[in-house]
Amino acid sequence: MEKIEHIGIAVKNLRHSNILFEKLLGTSSYKTETVKSEGVRTSFFEIGSSKIELLEATNKESAIAKFVEKRGEGIHHIAFEVSDIWAEIKRLKKEGFTVLNDAPKKGADNKWVAFLHPKAVNGVLVELCQDDTGSPNKTEENGI
């Protein structure tokens, strides 16, 4: 793992939260996008070499809607940048972590992503992120 890529924060209202975080951080969101497959609208703020991702549910069945309903607004996940997401998934499985994705999937901010089950990481949902440079690299050597 190379660095903390971002911290994801579940919010009820993205517009209101953007205003709050703009005041808090002294900067504007650099990107807002919808990830239909996840039922979420996101907004990103850069803080040095890391980011804050605000996540608002776009439907009642999304993971973010369920999270906010159960726990309220707050930190949802921590994301780590990796250079080879397939190799990292394989390594973490060997270490005994439960990976929630059999294969990386497209996420927000032009990333390939995979998640680790929070029960294996002291209750923290962990996201692995790899920059989208086409498709995530899967070879016989690092394939799952």
**Residue 102 confidence (pLDDT):** 83
Confidence (pTM):
0.87
**Mean pLDDT over residues 128-133, rounded?**
89
pLDDT exceeds cutoff 90 at 133: no
- Condensed to tens digits (0 to 9), the pLDDT of residues 95-129 reads 999 999 889 999 998 899 999 999 999 999 999 99
Mode of pairing for the β-strands spanning 74-81 and 50-57:
unpaired
Instruction: Name the β-bridge partners of 44.
Output: 31, 53
Question: Can you tell me the distance from the alpha carbon of 9 to that of 75, in angstroms, rounded to the nearest whole number?
Answer: 4
Task: Give the 3-state secondary structure of residue 25.
Answer: helix
Half-sphere exposure (Cβ direction) of 58: Cα atoms closer than 13 Å: 10
Who's near 14: CB < 8 A, 6+ residues apart? 32, 41, 43, 54, 56
